[in-house]
Amino acid sequence: MNARRPHPDRGDVLTAVSDGLVGLLKEFYGRGPTRVRSYYADDLVVCILRGGFTRVEATLLEAGHGAAVIEQRMAFQELLRRRFEQVVEDATGRPVVGFMSGNHQDPDMMCEVFVLGSAGDPEPVDDHGD
């Protein structure tokens, strides 16, 4: 029997997404964000992570090398794309069919956006028709 519930509690999903993404960042950056908030509606999961620049990143920013920090973060997120998606899939019980990531420097924020398919369908559900 599958231990995963067909419709997990929304609070459990949000906690699992937030904790999972923070855990990945802590594992690979050596520290995580100072604040996190996740949102889940329909086929969309969004996670806003605030704070967490590493000492190296902060030094680069202070020296005017913000583009290098953003480039490094984007490369990291692309490298670990599947692990980020797995956190959301495990929390929601639905496949991730799209993942977008953005970074902001002042204030320090990351935004992770996941588009979900239905549990048995790899494509997002279109409720609007043509």
CB atoms within 10 A of CB 85: 17
Q: Tell me, what's the pLDDT at 123?
A: 53
| The model's pTM | 0.81
Total residue length of the chain: 130
Which parts of the chain sit beneath pLDDT 70?
1-7, 120-130
Q: In terms of C-beta density within 10 A (0-12 exposed, 13-18 middle, 19 or more buried), how is residue 25 classed?
A: buried
